[in-house]
């Protein structure tokens, strides 16, 4: 991503502002995560962000995204306590959303 060129390996919170639930990794990983979340929900950056000021919290959807990240982390931690699952079970946006803004409530007919 051109916006962080030369800063990819720096700590994410030294490159980006107003991170409230993310941290402890390299800046380039935030770019990858945001791209994956965007695809996982089928939305663009502007769905959650003021694209003129990504640190701005004026969009309610950004707060929802933060809550969803925390929920996913809680579920992933709980999954680690279930015997017989993989060594690193994880849920993320794609787990439920499957590329759609609203997750499905039932399986489609085949």
39-88 pLDDT, tens per residue?
Answer: 989 999 999 999 999 999 999 999 999 999 999 999 999 999 999 998 88
Closest CA to 19 of 28, 7, 30: 30
Q: What is the C-alpha separation between 71 and 40, in angstroms, rounded?
A: 16
User: Once rounded to an integer, what is the mean pLDDT over residues 3-27?
Assistant: 94
76-108 pLDDT, tens per residue?
Answer: 999 999 999 988 888 988 888 988 999 888 877
pTM of the model as a whole: 0.85
Q: What is the C-alpha separation between 72 and 69, in angstroms, rounded?
A: 5
């Amino acid at each position: 991503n051109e916006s962080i060129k030369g800063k990819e390996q720096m700590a994410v919170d030294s490159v980006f502002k107003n991170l409230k639930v993310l941290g402890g990794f390299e800046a380039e990983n935030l770019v990858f995560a945001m791209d994956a979340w965007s695809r996982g929900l089928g939305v663009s950056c502007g769905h959650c962000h003021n694209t003129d000021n990504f640190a701005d919290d004026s969009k309610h959807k950004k707060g929802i995204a933060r809550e969803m990240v925390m929920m996913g982390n809680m579920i992933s931690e709980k999954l680690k306590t279930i015997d017989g699952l993989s060594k690193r079970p994880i849920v993320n946006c794609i787990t439920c959303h499957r590329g759609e803004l609203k997750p499905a409530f039932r399986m489609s007919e085949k």
